[in-house]
Amino acid sequence: MIMNYIKHYPEITSLINGADHTDVKTVEGQVSLQQFIASMLSYYPWWIIFLYHVRAVFVRILGMRQPAMPDELPKLLPEDVPMTPGENATFFILRHTKEEEYWIAETPEEKHLRAYFGVVVEPVKDSLKRFHVVTIVHYKHWTGPVYFNTIRPFHHLVVRRMARAGVKL
C-alpha cells in the first residue's frame, strides 16, 4: 500500500529501482515535514550512542571507515533542516525535496554501500499526516551485505524510534 503512494514520486522510485534493501516505517502526527525531520535527526538517547560506538568497532573489523562522533550532538530546529538539494542535514546530503511532500537525503560516499534516507508525507485528514520513513540501500562491495545484514535488526529499531520521536513536539 505505501509503495503505491511512494510511486507517485519518480525521484524516489528511481532510487528504489535495483535497490538491495528497501524498508518503510510509518507514523502519524500533526507536525510539519521540517519539524518531523528536525526531531528525528535530534533523537540521541544513550542506547543509540552506545550502538554507534559498537558499530565503530565492527566497521574497523571490516576495514571500513566511520566518521568520528561529534563532541556535541546537534539539536535541530525546523528552520535548520535544509530544503535545497546539496545541503547537509547532520551527516546526510539532501538530494530531493518538495515542500510538505517528501525529503530524500543520501549518506556520505562509502565504499561498501550507497544509502538513502527519506520521508514521504501523506495527508490523512485535517492536520493529521502520515509520515513514511524510507530507507534505500544499494550494495557496492562484498562488505555491503555483510555490514548491513549485521546491523539490520538495530536499523529497524533505531529508525522506528526516530520516527516516533519525529512526531513529538
Query: What are the sequence ranges of the domains in the chain?
Result: 2-166
Q: Where are the beta strands (DSSP E) in the chain?
A: 21-29, 88-89, 92-98, 102-106, 113-125, 128-139
CATH of domain 2-166: 3.30.530
81, 88 Cβ separation under 8 angstroms: no
**Cell 517528501 maps to which residue?**
102
pLDDT digits (tens, 9 = 90+) for 40-98: 999 988 887 888 878 777 777 777 766 665 566 678 899 999 999 999 988 889 999 99
CA–CA distance, 87 with 95 (Å, rounded to integer): 8
HEC states along 144-162?
HHHHHHHHHHHHHHHHHHH
The residue-averaged pLDDT of 22-49 equals 92
- Cβ pair 119, 130 in contact under 8 A: no
* CA atoms lying within 13 Å on the CB side of residue 90: 23
pLDDT in tens, 122-141: 999 999 999 999 999 999 99
